[in-house]
Amino acid sequence: MNPLLPYCEALSEDVNQVLEQTAPMKHPLIELIRYSLEEQQEALKKLIPVLTADLEQIPSDDNASHQQSSNSDQHPDQPALSLDQIRPYLSILYQNNEVAEPTMRAWVRAVHWIPSFETEHTEQIRNRYKHMREQLDEIAVNLREIYGQAAIKYVVPTFYLEVSL
């Protein structure tokens, strides 16, 4: 099994849940959050089948040269997928989270300030985002192990991978 798959599935569950919970809500920040979630949902719909199909644990010939050149500490169970095959989806997942996470926090403040807004699911949504962040952190760690820091540098934002001097 591709090591990214369980995290992406968990992420997908979170995305779907938040979309469901926010569907009846009318608020400018919810519009922004849902826009990002819908993009993430679309990306996951395409990414999960690709990861699911990636059952072989041996790199394909196409990928070997790329991996050799870009990664000296490859994952022992190297997936057959090249980073290029999943890069577009990963980019959408991470960059949407980068904008949606602060928007969600702003929405939580907004709800607190104007109590007439929908509040029933506020805590649940906040927890979902926390959980989504954990999945993205895990995906980042796995990506680094599989493809190497240099290869994922422009896919995974720096804030998901601790860098020390």
Partner 1 sequence: MSWQKERIDMNIYSQGEVDKWVYSTCNICSIGCGCHIAVKDDKIVGIKGNGQHPINRGRLGPKGENQWYANNSSDRLLTPLIRRDNGQLEPASWEEAMELIVSKARESLERQGSNSIAIYSTGQGYLEDYYTIAKIGRAGLHTHLLDANTRLCTATTEFCLLQSFGADGTPASFDDVDVTDTLMLFGHNVAETGTVLHERIMQRKQREGKPYIIAVDPRHTLTARHADLHLQLIPGTNVALLNGLVHLMIKNGNIDRQFVEQYTIGFDEMQQSVADWTPEKTSKITGIPVEQLHEAARVLGETPSMVTTTLQGTFQSADATTACVAINNMHLIRGQIGKPGCGPLHMAGQPSSSANRTAGGVGTYPAQRNPMNPQHLQEMADLWNVDEATLPAGPEKGIEEQLDMIEQGKVTFFWNIGTNPMVSLPNRRRARKALESIFVVVQDPFLTETAKVADVILPVALWGEKEGTMENADRTINVLRKAVEAPQGVKSDLQILIDFARRMDLKDKDGQPLIGYSTPEECFEEWKTVSRGRPCDMTGMTYDKLEQHNGMRWPANEQHPTGTPRLYSDYKFPTDADYSQSYTKDQFSGRALSRDEFVSKQANGKAILHATRYLPPTEQPNEEYPTWLTTGRLVWHWHTRTKTARSPYLQMAAPNAYVEIHEEDAAALSIVQGEVVRISSPRGWIEVPARIGTAVQKGLVFVPFHYGSWEGHESANDLTADFTDPLSKQPTFKQAACRIDKLRKQHIVVGEESADYIAEQYQLTVEHLLQANRLVTPYDIQSGQTLEVPISVVNAPIPPYIPQRG
List residues near partner 1 by CB under 8 A.
27-29, 31-32, 35-36, 39, 87-88, 91-92, 95-96, 98-100, 102-103, 105-106, 109-110, 112-114, 116, 149-150, 153-154, 157-159, 162-165
How many other CB atoms sit within 10 Å of the CB of residue 87? 16
- Give the shortest CB-46-to-partner 1 separation in angstroms: 14
- Give the shortest CB-55-to-partner 1 separation in angstroms: 26
Pick the closest to residue 147 from 53, 82, 65 (CA basis).
82
- Give the shortest CB-41-to-partner 1 separation in angstroms: 14
How many other CB atoms sit within 10 Å of the CB of residue 136? 22
- Give the shortest CB-1-to-partner 1 separation in angstroms: 26
Shorter beta-carbon distance to partner 1: residue 23 or 165 = 165
Measuring CA to CA, how many Å separate 98 from each of 33, 37, 65? 11, 12, 32
Shorter beta-carbon distance to partner 1: residue 146 or 151 = 151
- Give the shortest CB-17-to-partner 1 separation in angstroms: 20
Contacts of 106 (CB under 8 A, 6+ apart): 29
Contact call for residues 122 and 140 (beta carbons, < 8 A) = no
Contact call for residues 89 and 139 (beta carbons, < 8 A) = no
Give CA–CA dist 45/119, Å, rounded: 29
Shorter beta-carbon distance to partner 1: residue 6 or 87 = 87
CA dihedral 143→145→148→152, nearest 10 degrees, is 10
Shorter beta-carbon distance to partner 1: residue 61 or 164 = 164
Shorter beta-carbon distance to partner 1: residue 9 or 35 = 35
